[in-house]
Amino acid sequence: MDNWSSSINVDDEFAKLVLRMNPPRVTVDNDSDRKATLIKVDSANKRGSLLEVVQVLTDMNLIIRRAYISSDGGWFMDVFHVTDQHGNKFSEDGIAERIQQSLGPRGRSFRSLKRSVGVQASMEHTTIELTGRDRPGLLSEVFAVLTDLKCNVVAAEVWTHNSRMASVVYITDELSGLPIDDPDRLAKIKQLLLYVLKGDRDKRGANTAVSVGLTHTQRRLHQMMYADRDYDTDELSGSSSDRSKPLVTVENCSEKGYTAVNLRCPDRPKLLFDTVCTLTDMQYVVFHGTVIAEGPEAYQEYYIRHMDGCPISSEAERQRVIHCLEAAIRRRTSEGIRLELCSEDRVGLLSDVTRLFRENGLSVTRAEVTTRGSQAVNVFYVTDASGCPVNSETIEAVRKEIGLSILHVKDDDVYSNSPPQQAGRFSLGNLFRSRSERFLYNLGLIKSCS
């Protein structure tokens, strides 16, 4: 065991040495493409390089229109065509430096990069992680418990999928505004929240975790829901419409030693992050890939192997990859009406707002809680208790109780549930080769099984 550990340490030190000798090169090109900014990344390869770059771009709210990925051997080379949220090129002086920092030998880990809920994830907050069975009113009960325990929620993000709920909540002490680090108090918080999560129906079980530290919220939510097995299909058939089901195929390319993963679904922001995050957390390495998302649909093609260097070896493993990618796409697909709340922040605000939701029969399917200075800027996606759309009379009644100038209804066409066109097996290499083959070949990015 000692020899094995020593070998791992030597490998790690060698990888750091290679990175120091070959620092990442990042170029930002606004001239080569008429519609998008090109970001080219060349670096010595290490596990997770692709996810780190995609995470930086996603955290900067950039939209990835195309991506060409290659990481065979010891080198990592990617090209991303990106725009801002309005579809325009951008000029960001610090992006190259941020990507280089993320890939360098002293690069920060996933957990220390910019968070997704509007408050800097730091040692200034206590982090609470919750997973359990979703039900109407659950979020209201969680926030009510935290308010009763003199905790102030400064940020949170909540996802629901396949009857499961995962949430990362950042809290401080109500009076001091400091992180909560008293062991007895933390134990009480965990115990009471666990009672709320379990209720009397959660056969699978619930989990709580409390820490004072750093986390990349959305990556952690993926990990939590994956660990909670939200991809299991026993409940999936009744949880969402087949119209919105992504098309995912997984096939082995025996002559190349890869497994080919093809994905097709309605496009939306952060889709690439969600799929790459899932493959990485499932211990797969993306060696080559092509991503095209320039219309209402997104197409992704990856050539992967397990970390041990082997392609997918069984039908059970193949089905698991399909189900996990489908779940990763659906977790962020928001069902319901989008409500935005903006007001002066105060202790107990979330408890009061979500209580009014519950009393009016609204169920929260996703939430982003943000604090910007003294302002609370929160987003909720709501349905009725059975998961159906809420009628306008109910929404207006809730708005009047909370305040018409505080709670607004927002149209959100980004998360469209329009179905992808039905098709059999597809391949990005075949669909788009006439337009991109020469470019890919010149970059050395074509290594397909076709």
Residue 437, pLDDT above cutoff 50: no
- Reply yes or no on whether the pLDDT at 222 is more than 50: yes
Asked if residue 46 lies in contact with residue 19, where contact means CB atoms within 8 angstroms, the answer is yes
Q: What is the dihedral of CA 59, 219, 413, 137, to 10 degrees?
A: -130
Do the Cβ atoms of 279 and 286 come closer than 8 Å? yes
**Percent over 70 (pLDDT), the chain:** 77
> What CATH number labels 126-230+335-410?
3.30.70.260
Tokens of 320: 């698991």
Single out the residue of 229, 249, 227, 235 nearest to residue 303, CA to CA: 249
Give the pLDDT confidence of 324-372 residue by residue, as tens digits. 999 999 999 878 999 999 999 999 999 999 999 999 999 999 999 999 9
| Whether residue 126 has pLDDT greater than 70 | yes
What are 413-434's pLDDT values in tens digits? 433 343 344 333 444 444 434 4
Whole-number pLDDT of residue 199: 77
Question: pLDDT tens, 162-182?
Answer: 999 999 999 999 999 999 989
pLDDT band at residue 242 under the 50/70/90 scheme: low
Look at residue 215 in the predicted model and tell me its pLDDT.
67
Is the Cβ–Cβ distance between 102 and 53 less than 8 Å? yes
Could you report the per-residue pLDDT of 96-105, keeping only the tens digit for each?
Answer: 888 877 776 5
Across 116-135, average pLDDT: 71
| Alpha-carbon torsion (310, 311, 312, 313), positive or negative | negative
Name 66's bridge partners: 81, 292
pLDDT at 336: 92
pLDDT value for 10: 47
Q: Are 302 and 289 in contact (CB under 8 A)?
A: yes
Domain ranges of the chain: 2-110+236-330+421-443, 126-230+335-410
d(CA 274, CA 258): 21
How far are the Cα atoms of 131, 207, 373, 389 from residue 204, in angstroms, in the given order? 10, 10, 39, 28
47 in helix, strand or coil?
Answer: coil
Q: Is the pLDDT of residue 307 over 70?
A: yes
Judge whether residue 72 has pLDDT over 90: no
The pTM of this model reads: 0.82
